[in-house]
Amino acid sequence: VKPHTDLLEHGQACGSHAVSVMELYTAAEISRHDKADDLWVIMENKVYDITKWHAFHPGGSPVLLKYGGADATQASNNAHGLLKKPLSIMPRYCIGRLGTEEEVRAAQDQKVRTLLAANPPTQAEKLSPMVVPGVSPQAEADQKADQQADQQADQQADQQASSYVKATYTLLLERMAADRVAAERMMSKAKAAVGKAAARMSGRASQGETENSTDAEDSTPRLSQTASSQGIDAEDKAKNEQVAADTARQKAAEKAAEKAAAAKIAAEKAEKAKAEKKAAAEKAAAEKAAKAAAKAAEKAEQKAAEEKVAADKAAEKEKAKAEKLAADKAEAKKAAIEKAAAKKTAEKAADKAQANDSEATAKAIEGKAAAEKALAEMKAAKEAAEKTAAELQAKAEQLQREKEAAQKEKKAAKKAESAGKKLLIVFQSPAGEQKTVTFTKRPLGVSCSMDTMPIVVGEPPRGAAAEAGVCEGWILCQVGTDPSNMRNFPRSADEPYALVQETFKFLGQLTKDLPQVPS
């Protein structure tokens, strides 16, 4: 039995070529995904996201929850042995492979370099050369070399700031595209539900017309029988009293039959009206659901547009801050150059003063004091730049916290949307007793043996099934959301595979709509 295809849409191939270009995850990061609504496992150093599949595991969901966020390689090999079915299912849920922290950092650096190659950063403006009077040609050459080194450092700082801004903007665009695809998928499902309701109404109308034509044909023999009963032979006048009595009894029987037929027609009309009313209600509910889905899609698109505008503003703000930080750094380096030049001038003046007189010595001391003052100012400018960098880091962390809060709100909204949905499954005991069990959460708490048909409960069930009295060895008969749309489980291995697959697709969709059971 294959799992529902909708549950495989996020799965990816996990062959040798695909894994080499997929994401890398550390063991510490994988260990955080150990809940029923966020479940990852490791097998053969590959990472699998089985959040949407563990409820369909033939051995039961608790077996997989036991190894959530951990390595399940040995346990899988012991349980499955040489079975080929796990090998054909698991690659669809592979999302990456296990790596060390060094490998993960190297992969992230490679991703940033790829983004930079596609969007090269702009070059920072070069600092104009500064000429200090009274400096020798050798000092000017040293000064130019220092300026070139400072310009290269400024350019590297600008490139790094621009690369992180662009990388953040690219990741936000990917998130918006994924939200848009989810909204379009919701609209398609709502339209399909409206189409099914309309088809169901048209089918019931044609069935009512067929029943009316059948009633008309049944009434013809009764009319002919009445006409024949009234044609009494004139030659039997001797038996008038007997014939009259027989005729009276026959007419009474015919009137009773006509009344019964009229009552049957009235009951059939009432049943038809009831069915039409129910179909109209289902169609109205489907149209209402379609409108709600369209409204949700519109809200999602509007929210995506607002997030894009906010991301653009944040990127522009971060770019302005980076440019300001670079300008402050340039000013500090310019002051350092001026201080170095002043220091050299002061040293020359001091040497000359020692050779001449005490007045020159005083001037040298004054120049040295000015140089020390310039050094103190440069130190203050450096501290201001470090303070600005710390503020930028704090604001970036605040943005990350806001993003995580928005994700939590989205999960809570999705959980509230799935509340109120239910799943009905009809079980049959070995003695022939049938019970209908209503499930409002998943996993179902029912472990089934699907090696043969019909499907049999393999272990004592838990939860709603156990409370309803279902026991080990009972058979799964039907599945649906209400008695009007129940489907039969396959009862024999000889049934067409397409019918078997359609039933399990139906079961997978109903289970997917139910909320997760808190672990």
Interval 300-344: pLDDT, tens: 888 888 988 998 888 888 889 889 999 998 989 998 999 899 888
Residue 142: its pLDDT value, please? 74
Residue 172: its pLDDT value, please? 61
- Both tokens assigned to 367: 């120049």
Strands 448-449 and 456-457: antiparallel
Regions in the chain scoring below 50 on pLDDT: 1-13, 15-20, 124-135, 205, 208-232
Q: 272 by DSSP, 3-state: which?
A: helix
CA angle (318, 319, 322) in 5-degree steps: 85
Sign of CA dihedral 41, 46, 47, 49: negative
Residue 62: its pLDDT value, please? 93
CA angle (336, 340, 346) in 5-degree steps: 140
Which residue is listed with tokens 């359609």? 502
Closest CA to 415 of 272, 513, 287: 513
Cis ω before 454 (30° cut-off from 0): yes
Closest CA to 289 of 204, 202, 197, 179: 197
Residue 40: its pLDDT value, please? 96
Q: What is the largest CA-CA distance in the chain?
A: 176
The phi and psi torsions of 239 (rounded to 5 degrees) equal -115, 35
Spatial distance between the Cα atoms of 251 and 514, rounded to a whole number of angstroms? 62
Residue 48: its pLDDT value, please? 96
Spatial distance between the Cα atoms of 505 and 500, rounded to a whole number of angstroms? 9
Residue 436: its pLDDT value, please? 92
